[in-house]
Amino acid sequence: ELKVEQNPLFLSMQEGKNYTIYCNYSTTSDRLYWYRQDPGKSLESLFVLLSNGAVKQEGRLMASLDTKARLSTLHITAAVHDLSATYFCAVVRLRTYKYIFGTGTRLKVLA
Amino acid sequence: KAGVTQTPRYLIKTRGQQVTLSCSPISGHRSVSWYQQTPGQGLQFLFEYFSETQRNKGNFPGRFSGRQFSNSRSEMNVSTLELGDSALYLCASSLDRGAKNTEAFFGQGTRLTVV
């Protein structure tokens, strides 16, 4: 069964610092997504990664995918307080169309 | 364009009762999925409906059921509520199940508290 592990679970960082969140998955998948969730809110789609070597960037966030290693990373550059949220990765196999989510990384950016 | 709408936003129920949650997908979207989010188990897939048919189901007991109507609106029902059913229930819709249109858009969720 497809499993997704995400680390770290919690991340407290200073503004201006860089950090990376890791997402490992156990078997092949067809899509990998990154979502952001603010407290009490829904999931906001950040990136969808479709193929090996895919890299996408939006502002201070950059996501990449290595399908051979079954690893995706979400890199945060020069963090700002507004990035404080919980970040989830999710993989999906089109055959089942079931999203399997990672445990989430709760990010807190300290001013 | 309206997003995914879930009603109600908050619910408090007593153990043993049943509850029905509603989800209206984005206009034109035909696939609706439901997820349960709890602090302990994270986000877990409940089921997916497409064209009024359940296409996939997660590992939840039979107390959890759902359906989809001809206008793609979906409901999920939980019978004989247990304390452990307290969670945020998220609905997601997507255009269809084809390879190019699988991205799911999530609603705000229904926060269910069982007392």
Confidence of residue B2 (pLDDT cuts 50, 70, 90): confident
**8 Å CB contact between B69 and B52:** yes
How far is A3 from A102, CA to CA, in rounded Å? 8
How far is B52 from A58, CA to CA, in rounded Å? 36
**8 Å CB contact between A92 and A72:** no
Q: How far is B86 from chain A (nearest CA, A)?
A: 14
Confidence of residue B66 (pLDDT cuts 50, 70, 90): very high
pLDDT for res A79: 95
Q: What is the mean pLDDT of residues B65-87?
A: 97
Tokens of A14: 């200073």
Smallest Cβ distance to B102: which of A94, A103, A104?
A94
Q: How far is B80 from chain A (nearest CA, A)?
A: 26
Q: Is the pLDDT of residue B101 over 70?
A: no
Show the low-confidence residues of chain A (pLDDT under 50): none
Per cent of chain B over pLDDT 70 is 94
Which residue out of A98, A103, A105, A106 would a mutagenesis test of the B interface target, given it has the greatest number of B Cβ atoms within 10 Å? A98
Q: Is the pLDDT of residue B33 over 90?
A: yes
Q: What is the mean pLDDT of residues B45-62?
A: 93
How far is B58 from A41, CA to CA, in rounded Å? 23
Strands A105-110 and A10-14: parallel
Tell me which residue of B95, B71, B73, B56 sits closest to B20, measured CA to CA: B73
CA B78 from chain center: how many Å?
A: 11
pLDDT for res B1: 63
Q: Is the pLDDT of residue B6 over 80?
A: yes
CA A79 from chain center: how many Å?
A: 15
Which residue out of A91, A97, A103 would a mutagenesis test of the B interface target, given it has the greatest number of B Cβ atoms within 10 Å? A97
Mean pLDDT of all residues in chain B?
A: 93
Question: Is residue A1 packed enough to be buried (19+ CB in 10 Å), middle (13-18) or exposed (0-12)?
Answer: exposed
Give me the numbers of helices (H) and strands (E) for chain B, helices first please.
0, 11
Q: At B54, is the secondary structure helix, strand, or coil?
A: strand
How far is A22 from A11, CA to CA, in rounded Å? 12
Secondary structure (DSSP) of chain A: ---EEEE-SEEEEETT--EEEEEEESS--SEEEEEEE-TTS-EEEEEEE-STT-EEEETTEEEEEETTTTEEEEEE-S--GGG-EEEEEEEEETTTTEEEE---EEEEEE-
pLDDT for res A81: 94
Confidence of residue B97 (pLDDT cuts 50, 70, 90): low
pLDDT for res B95: 85
Q: Is the pLDDT of residue B99 over 80?
A: no
Contacts of B42 in chain A (CB under 8 A): 101-104
Contacts of B106 in chain A (CB under 8 A): 35, 42-44
